[in-house]
């Protein structure tokens, strides 16, 4: 084993670490040298969004010490930034194993540093944390969650005073402070318990009142109150608020998937607790079919992602992808506000660069500015902050099953999304249609866009290097054609540069640097390559489009677009 790794192991075995930790290290040392190397070969990186990793002992794992040291660095930065001003933070957590322990650890460290802490009394959806930061005028916050990752993972998302996750310059500055913490001896672990206040029901009520205020057509819900809704929290935090929010909206016919209703960090009924995965939604699909429901909805463990299923025009249940859900939500918020008479000339919407261009078409045709930002809701939050004096944000979203409706929170929110999607279903039912019917109508009106995503996982020490090599290869030798269609534009967000490969014309991309490449083909197809910021994956996003003259041509055009995506995947040797 590498000497540098052995040195780190010995520091933990001989240092001021608890006996249970030392025993666990000795056990791994005896049984599995490879796992020992993985646990210590690097320090778990405090990235621009915080920490995320496998739970266990070691410098490259989520544990009391890595969480405590990160919190000490964050606390130091908050105190340096705000000086003599009282600093307040809000702490929340999800259903994952150790999440409560990590949240209490974070609260104790902040409290010991003289910081006022509002700690949720039990698990809550992540979006409620974002709302609470703004509610208390706090300077920061932390939620302990690994979102939709497998059960072995946990994480630590850091937030700033607007309720959004850290963005420049704070993200890099916090990272610097965290990196300065060299050992647990530098962490203030105890002594500030009096600075911690538990929060719960009152905050729930304030948050749910905000969500209720997002409803555009409550009278339609009153007419369609018995809309048959099936909901699964997939063992996560959604169970704490989603059923009550639906009740407050006026829905009276809500069915919970009982097998997935109890919060459980082992996620016993799924492999990945992610509503993007059909397997995670399969129990809900069965219940929806058995009940002949109108809509199925599922949320991930920390309730910031939402997946939905509806019946297609043949009465078959289908899962919507994140782009389709976003298209429906954006169209509703733009069109319904117009119909209601509450749209303003200042309205604007925001999406990410890998989310369907169909949203841009919808916004443009309705005279609403649509801005593109980098992947991640922190960039949506940052743009709202930049523009809120002059423009009125109504909705933002990204293809990975995330929506943020209204400007009272600054992170994706599946709780409000579930409620509004059900309102949308009720509105369409009141007009004799389903959400699927509405989606096809939108394709006819604004263009038929179809998207797909492939994730390639590269685990371990070598994995990150392989992903970097793939990106470098595309950067240095971009394809001139894909699937027989010429590449017209190369967009390199790392270099902040765009280039027309036909004319040689170049331009600057006015967004922060990000390791993303996009190839735009002559026929309007777009392929994006992006290493994940939270998982050992590289993601490839595919978007193709055509015109749809009428509903009757939908099936044939769908097949054509699916074949085009498969051709692109084959052309890039990704299958």
Same domain assignment for residues 390 and 278:
yes
Q: Is residue 257 part of a domain?
A: yes
The domain tally of the chain equals 3
Pairing of strands 229-232, 254-256: parallel
Backbone angles phi, psi at 336, to 5 degrees: -65, -35
Do 297 and 393 belong together in one domain?
yes
CATH number of the domain encompassing residue 177: 3.40.120.10
End-to-end CA gap in the chain: 36
267 in the same domain as 356: yes
Same domain, 112 and 167: yes
Domain assignment present for residue 16? The answer is no
Q: Which of 421, 446, 471 is the last residue of a domain?
A: 446
Known catalytic membership, residue 525: no
Residue 503 sits in a domain whose CATH number is 3.30.310
Domain final residue pick, 407, 431, 446: 446
Q: Are residues 178 and 192 in the same domain?
A: yes
Q: Which of 39, 130, 147, 514 is catalytic?
A: 147
The whole-angstrom separation of Cα 299 and Cα 94 is 12
If you ran DSSP here, which 8-state letter would residue 320 be given?
P
Q: What pLDDT does residue 461 have?
A: 64
Q: What integer pLDDT is reported at residue 149 of this predicted model?
A: 87
Query: Do 254 and 376 belong together in one domain?
Result: yes
Q: Identify whether 8 is part of a domain.
A: no
Inside any domain, residue 13: no
Is residue 406 in a domain? yes
* 190 and 152 in a common domain: yes
Check whether residue 506 and residue 540 sit in a common domain: yes
- CA distance linking residue 564 with residue 60, whole number of Å: 41
Residue 313, pLDDT score = 87
Q: Is residue 55 part of a domain?
A: no
Domain boundary among 446, 462, 497: 446
Ranges of the chain whose pLDDT falls below 70 = 1, 461, 533-535
Record the tokens describing residue 82, joined without a space: 């705000």
pLDDT value for 463? 81
- Does residue 494 form part of some domain? yes
Residues 398 and 423 in one domain: yes
Q: Establish if 433 belongs to a structural domain.
A: yes
Tens digits of per-residue pLDDT, 169-222? 999 999 999 999 999 999 999 999 999 999 999 999 999 999 999 999 999 999
pLDDT at residue 532 in the model: 79
User: Range of 98's domain?
Assistant: 62-199
Enumerate the H helices of 366-499 as residue ranges: 377-387, 414-430, 435-446, 460-476
Residue 280 contacts by C-beta under 8 Å, 6 or more apart in sequence? Answer: 234, 270, 271, 272, 273, 274, 298, 307
Structure tokens at 449: 């866009």
Domain shared by 454 and 393, yes or no:
no
405 and 474 part of one domain = no
Q: 236 and 167 in one domain? A: no
CA pair distance 203, 124, nearest whole angstrom: 11
């Amino acid at each position: 084993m590498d000497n540098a790794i052995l040195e780190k192991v010995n520091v933990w075995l001989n240092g001021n670490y608890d006996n249970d930790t030392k025993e666990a290290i000795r056990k791994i040392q005896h049984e599995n040298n490879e796992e020992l190397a993985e646990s210590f070969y690097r320090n778990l990186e405090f990235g621009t969004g915080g920490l995320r990793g496998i739970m266990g002992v070691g410098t490259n794992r989520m544990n009391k010490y890595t969480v405590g040291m990160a919190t000490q660095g964050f606390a130091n930065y908050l105190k340096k930034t705000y000086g003599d001003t009282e600093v307040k933070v809000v702490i929340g957590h999800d259903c994952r194993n150790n999440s409560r322990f990590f949240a209490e650890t974070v609260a104790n460290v902040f409290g010991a540093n003289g910081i006022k802490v509002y700690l949720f009394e039990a698990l809550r959806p992540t979006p409620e944390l974002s709302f609470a930061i703004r509610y208390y005028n706090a300077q920061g916050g932390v939620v302990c969650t690994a979102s939709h990752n497998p059960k072995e993972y946990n994480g630590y998302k850091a937030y700033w005073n607007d309720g959004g996750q850290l963005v420049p310059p704070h993200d890099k500055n916090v990272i610097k402070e965290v990196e300065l913490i060299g050992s647990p001896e530098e962490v203030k672990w105890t002594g500030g318990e009096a600075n911690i206040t538990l929060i719960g029901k009152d905050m729930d009520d304030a948050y749910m009142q905000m969500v209720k205020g997002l409803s555009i057509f409550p009278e339609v819900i009153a007419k369609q109150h018995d809309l048959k809704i099936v909901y699964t929290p997939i063992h996560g935090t959604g169970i704490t608020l989603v059923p009550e929010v639906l009740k407050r909206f006026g829905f009276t016919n809500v069915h919970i998937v009982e097998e997935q209703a109890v919060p459980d960090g082992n996620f016993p009924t799924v492999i990945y607790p992610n509503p993007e995965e059909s397997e995670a939604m399969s129990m809900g699909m069965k219940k929806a079919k058995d009940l002949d429901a109108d809509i199925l909805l599922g949320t991930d463990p920390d309730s910031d992602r939402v997946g939905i299923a509806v019946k297609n025009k043949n009465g078959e249940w289908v899962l919507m992808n994140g782009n389709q859900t976003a298209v429906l939500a954006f169209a509703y918020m733009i069109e319904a506000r117009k119909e209601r008479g509450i749209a303003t000339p200042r309205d604007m919407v925001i999406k990410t660069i890998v989310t369907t261009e169909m949203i841009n078409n919808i916004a443009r045709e309705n005279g609403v500015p649509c801005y593109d930002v980098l992947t991640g809701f922190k960039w949506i939050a940052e743009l709202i902050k930049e523009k809120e004096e002059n423009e009125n944000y109504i909705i933002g979203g990204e293809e990975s099953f995330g929506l943020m409706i209204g400007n009272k929170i600054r992170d994706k929110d599946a709780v409000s999304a579930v409620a509004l999607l059900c309102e949308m279903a009720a509105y369409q039912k009141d007009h004799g249609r389903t959400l699927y019917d509405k989606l096809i109508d939108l394709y006819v009106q604004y263009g038929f866009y179809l998207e797909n995503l492939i994730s390639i996982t590269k685990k371990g020490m070598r994995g990150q290097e392989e992903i970097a090599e793939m990106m470098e290869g595309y950067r240095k030798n971009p394809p001139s054609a894909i699937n027989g269609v010429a590449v017209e534009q190369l967009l390199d967000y790392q270099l902040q540069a765009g280039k027309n490969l036909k004319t040689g014309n170049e331009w600057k991309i006015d967004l922060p640097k990000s390791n993303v490449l996009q190839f735009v083909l002559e026929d309007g197809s777009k392929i994006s390559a992006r290493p994940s910021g939270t998982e050992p994956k590289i993601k490839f996003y595919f978007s193709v489009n055509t015109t749809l003259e009428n509903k009757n041509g939908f099936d044939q055009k769908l097949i054509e677009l699916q074949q085009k995506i498969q051709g692109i995947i084959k052309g890039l040797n990704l299958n």
